[in-house]
Structure 1
Amino acid sequence: MRATLERAALLKALAHVHRVVERRNTIPILANVLLRAGDGGLKLQATDLDLEIVETTPAEVTQPGATTVPAHTFYDIVRKLPDGSQVSLEMGGERGTLVIRAGRSRFTLQTLPDSDFPDLAAGELPVRFEIASADLRRLIDKTQFAISNEETRYYLNGIYLHVVEQGGVSLLRAVATDGHRLARVEMPAPAGAKGMPGVIVPRKTVAEVQRLLEDPEGQAAVELSPTKIRVSVGDVVLTSKLIDGTFPDYNRVIPTGNDKRLTVDRSEFSSAVDRVSTISSERGRAVKLSLGEGRLVLTVTNPDSGNATEEIEVDYDADPIDIGFNSRYLLDIAGQLEGDTALIRLADPGSPTLVQDRDDAPALYVLMPMRV
């Protein structure tokens, strides 16, 4: 194998693929990236057996061939090469080595045979649709923070993507929850998405797809089966297994009878929560919201360090109520809202609370209260 290409093009491709590779691997070949030089340029491929990324980048190939090299070491080498340099990749004179040259720099890396590299065979992916990169990124950005980290409830370790029919309109909906908070965002379903199976996209896959959606003007092609998903963005193709589990009936936890309406300036509310929570303990993080007509008092009490209160003006004319929330969860949700105001609908101190930009907003958040 012999190929020459721009350092910038190689670095960009490596930046996409090397992240899939785990730092610690019991299977040596999984620590490597597959390099395949041919007519189409240089193809780079990496996998952890659950997730695979393939990217093809332009290269001048004088001798086709393939090999695998340690992914993180290769990435670090290319990252440290001078800007604008031409990188030459060539199988070494000694068997089982790859020589990397750029200017006066020369590196030799140990290789493993390309024949040992696993291929994540996707099989048949019957559902296919195109979606604007900005729309897919929005579905991810608005829900990703609520993905559970609790491995025992593995079916919550991802974003649930599915299509629902509502008022004669098909909607593509993304939902994530960790049992304490829930995020639900929807948009009109793209052509071809109707009839897709409900799938749970794993946390790691979600993060990698998010990184690929760099161009807000771009398009992404999504292919699905009940067990696999493939997302193609430009020259990058990401294939992943899906979480094999049943996502809970999230509609049961979205309250419909919350009659106490609080409208608050989003930025002012977020800043006030942030300020008073400075005093909270790492474990507790509880902030008490005391609501009365036209005003909201936020209180944090920490027996070890003191207490904090702040009052802000709000639009509220229902019965007074005291309710507690995890301050970090409140800030996470406030950070996802897009409008100048936040609409918070409450029932009582023990029931789930609903947060939106406004009535009928495409993004909806549910937050469980805490005892304070």
Structure 2
Amino acid sequence: MKISVERSALLKAANRAQGVVERRSTIPILSNVLIEAEDAEASLRATDLDIEVVERIPAMVSQAGACTVPALTLYEIARKLPDGATVALAHDATAGRLDVSAGRARFTLPTLPREDFPLMALSDYDVSYIARAAELRRLFEKASFAISTEETRYYLNGVFLHVVERDGEKRLRAVATDGHRLACIDMAAPEGAREAPDVIVPRKTVGELRKLLEGGAEEIEVSVSATKIRFRAGELTLTSKVIDGSFPDYTRVIPQGNDREMTVDAAEFAKAVDRVATVSAERSRAVKLALDEDRLVLTVNSPDTGSATDEMAVAYSAEPLEIGFNAKYLLEIAGQIDRENAVFLFADSGAPTLVREGADDSAIYVVMPMRV
């Protein structure tokens, strides 16, 4: 194989590849990226056996072929080469090496046989549909912070993507929860998505999907089956197994009767929480919210690190209320609010609190209180 590619194209593709490969894999081939060259393009493919990413880039192909090289090393080489450089890749199958050159810089990388590289099995998908990238990005980004990292409850280690009917309309919904907070985000279901099976998209896939959605494509082709999900944008394809498990009935924990409403400037609220949390104990980061007529007092008391209070004006006319929360959870939810105001709906000091973005209920969040 002998090809020449633009440094910028190689860097972008190698960056996606090194994000997928396993850094500490006991299987050496899984640390490699498969480079295949044919006609006027080269493809870079990486996998960890659960996720596979393939990106095609333009190339001048002098000799078609394929080889695998360490993905992280190839990325670091491409990153450190000068902008605008043309990178030549020449594979010597007999010697088992890939020569990489750009200008006066020369590198030699070890290769492993192409035949050893595991390809994700092709499968039929139940449905395929086209979604706007901006809407899909909103769906996953707003839900991803609530994904659980607790491996014992593996079925919570991802985003639950499914179709629901709401007000007579089919909606594509993403839900994530770790048992302490929950994010539930809706968008109008694209044509063709209405019969899609319910799937749990793994946390790592969600992270890689974010890179794909930031690539500038306006539309994403989504294909779904009971075992896999595939996202395709232009020359980039991300395929992933889905989590084999049942997501719990999250609707039971979304409060319906919370009638104590507080409206607050989301950005100012986040700043106030961050200020008082400066003195909180790292383990609990507990902050108390004391509400009365159009006034919110935030308090932190830590026997070891001190105390702090802050006060701000809010819109609140219900009975006085004191309730405690993990400051980290409040900051993460406030960080998701796109609109100026956040609306908190309380029941009492021991019940889950519902948060939404102004009058928009297409994105709602639930956070459990804690004792303070």
Task: Name the TM-score class by shorter chain.
Answer: over 0.9
Partner of 1:83: 83
Which amino acid is the alignment partner of residue 240 of structure 1?
A: S
Give the Cα separation in 2 of the matches to 1:357 and 1:9: 39
Partner of 1:116: 116
Q: Deviations over 1:40-60 (max 9, x none)?
A: 411110000000000110001
Give the Cα separation in 2 of the matches to 1:73 and 1:64: 22
Q: Deviations over 1:13-58 (max 9, x none)?
A: 1111221011111111111100111014111100000000001100
Task: Note if contact 1:128-1:223 (Cα within 8 Å) is conserved in structure 2.
Answer: yes
Map of 1:1-372 to 2, 5 A cutoff?
1-92=1-92, 94-215=94-215, 218-372=218-372
SS at match of 1:238: strand
Task: Note if contact 1:133-1:215 (Cα within 8 Å) is conserved in structure 2.
Answer: no
SS at match of 1:361: strand
Q: Deviations over 1:301-324 (max 9, x none)?
A: 000121111111111111111100
Post-superposition offset of 1:209: 0.5
Which amino acid is the alignment partner of residue 86 of structure 1?
A: T
Structure 2 spans left out of the alignment, 5+ residues: none
Post-superposition offset of 1:104: 1.1
Q: Deviations over 1:267-303 (max 9, x none)?
A: 2211111111101010110000111112111100000
Post-superposition offset of 1:167: 2.1
Post-superposition offset of 1:95: 2.0
SS at match of 1:142: helix
Task: Note if contact 1:158-1:202 (Cα within 8 Å) is conserved in structure 2.
Answer: yes
SS at match of 1:207: helix
Which amino acid is the alignment partner of residue 206 of structure 1?
A: V
Task: Note if contact 1:40-1:56 (Cα within 8 Å) is conserved in structure 2.
Answer: no
Which amino acid is the alignment partner of residue 77 of structure 1?
A: I
Which amino acid is the alignment partner of residue 337 of structure 1?
A: I
SS at match of 1:146: coil
Aligned residues, how many? 372
Give the Cα separation in 2 of the matches to 1:305 and 1:285: 11
Indicate how the Cα distance of structure 1 residues 348 and 238 shifts in structure 2: closer, same or farther if over 3 A, else same: same
Task: Note if contact 1:7-1:78 (Cα within 8 Å) is conserved in structure 2.
Answer: yes
Runs (4+) of structure 1 moved beyond 4 Å? none
SS at match of 2:49: coil
Structure 1 spans left out of the alignment, 5+ residues: none
Task: Note if contact 2:217-2:234 (Cα within 8 Å) is conserved in structure 1.
Answer: no
Task: Note if contact 1:295-1:311 (Cα within 8 Å) is conserved in structure 2.
Answer: yes
Indicate how the Cα distance of structure 1 residues 285 and 319 shifts in structure 2: closer, same or farther if over 3 A, else same: same
Greater displacement, 150-159 / 83-92: 83-92
Which amino acid is the alignment partner of residue 313 of structure 2?
A: E
Give TM-score scaled by structure 2 length: 0.98
Which amino acid is the alignment partner of residue 171 of structure 2?
A: L
Give the Cα separation in 1 of the matches to 2:36 and 2:215: 26
Give the Cα separation in 1 of the matches to 2:237 and 2:209: 10
SS at match of 1:135: helix
Give the Cα separation in 1 of the matches to 2:216 and 2:365: 25
